[in-house]
Amino acid sequence: MSGVKLFRREDQDFSYEGDLPVNQEPYSILAFVNASNSDTMGGGFGVFGAGSNIEWTVTYDELLFIHSGQFQLKIGDEIFHAGPGDTLWIPKDTPLTYIAEVDVWFFFAVYPFSKSPSGSLSKVYPDTPPRPAK
């Protein structure tokens, strides 16, 4: 068996979990790649709900790919506007604010995962087995 996992969107619970340190805002982070299945990286999919305004300092390198919605990343006095298809690279130790006026769906990758609250979780998400070869 290859160890490859397929995480289908319809099999996941994207309700707002609040199991990460920032829980006053509507967001859901599903870290499909985490300490339960990787020794080095973290990543997954998430939603910042409309009205999110999350202050945070990343303690890891982060890559955000915006799938849908309009997203703002505030770093000091700078505001980066990102929409569908845009990618943000955020170096570790960056103090920031994630801002979403509408629901924003995104993919993220973090490294090293041990410095990320989502990547260092040991959580198993539903995955889809491969189809048998014909």
The whole-number pLDDT of residue 3 equals: 80
The whole-number pLDDT of residue 108 equals: 96
Does the domain at 9-115 match CATH 2.60.120.10? Answer given as yes
Cα distance between residue 26 and residue 51, in whole Å: 8
Question: Cis ω on the peptide bond leading into residue 112 (within 30° of 0)?
Answer: yes
The whole-number pLDDT of residue 10 equals: 87
pLDDT(20) > 80: no
The whole-number pLDDT of residue 121 equals: 77
Radius of gyration of the chain (CA): 15
What pLDDT band is residue 102 in, cutting at 50, 70 and 90?
very high
The pLDDT tens digits for 35-65 are 888 888 899 999 999 999 999 899 999 999 9
Domain boundaries, the chain: 9-115
The whole-number pLDDT of residue 18 equals: 52
The whole-number pLDDT of residue 117 equals: 80
**Burial (Cβ within 10 Å: 0-12, 13-18, ≥19) of residue 7:** middle
The pLDDT tens digits for 75-97 are 999 999 999 999 999 999 999 99
The whole-number pLDDT of residue 103 equals: 94
Q: Vertex 116, ends 114 and 117: CA angle to 5°?
A: 110
Mean pLDDT of the chain: 87
